[in-house]
Amino acid sequence: MSRSVRARWTNGIVLFGLAVAMAWVGRGGPVLWGVVVPVLYAAAGLWACPVGDRTTLTQAEVDALPADQRSVVVYARPGCSWCLRLRLALLGHRPQPTWVDVWDDPDASAFVRAVNDGNETVPTVVIDGRPVTNPPPGRVRAALLEHAPAG
């Protein structure tokens, strides 16, 4: 099991545990703490774990893509709150960027370190061949719309 998959299972299990704890603590109290918050934690746990895993590519696969299919590439890792922020901001957005998990691919990790002064800072987003570290989600959405196929 890769480091990335282990981290995602851990994140999912922790969030499910928090859901159970919140339900236990909030029982008999306000609906917000006894029902709503636990349901949100459980949903986040389901989303975080690798069940129904999202597809990510390796650095070699990204390099092999035609230029028009790699106009927006996001280098991320599980457990990163900034990566989660970007992923949630792009939830349901079409088109989606190409995602690369730096923990699953040493070449991707090396690329991110090369463009971030030796630091594995994520999310690093490559827009039109230029790396941008932790860009605002609006900038990534705008780049995706700019490169969206006509139609």
pLDDT at 51: 55
Does the pLDDT value for residue 150 go beyond 80? no
Structure confidence at residue 113 (pLDDT): 97
State how far the alpha carbon of 99 is from the alpha carbons of 22, 90, 115, 146, in Å.
33, 12, 17, 18
42-77 tens-digit pLDDT: 888 877 776 545 678 899 999 999 887 888 999 998
Full domain range(s) for residue 15: 3-48
* Number of structural domains in the chain: 2
pTM: 0.71
Position 34 pLDDT exceeds 70: yes
Q: Which of 113, 141, 107, 109 is nearest to 127 (CA)?
A: 141
Mark whether 12 and 75 lie in a shared domain: no
74 and 128 housed in the same domain: yes
- Within-domain flag for 151: no
Give the three-class secondary structure for 79. Answer: coil
CATH of the domain at 71: 3.40.30.10
Q: What is the pLDDT of residues 124-141, one digit of tens each?
A: 999 999 999 999 999 999
- Starting at the edge strand found earlier in the chain, the sheet holding 98-101 runs 98-101, 72-76, 124-127, 130-133
What integer best gives the mean pLDDT of the chain? 86
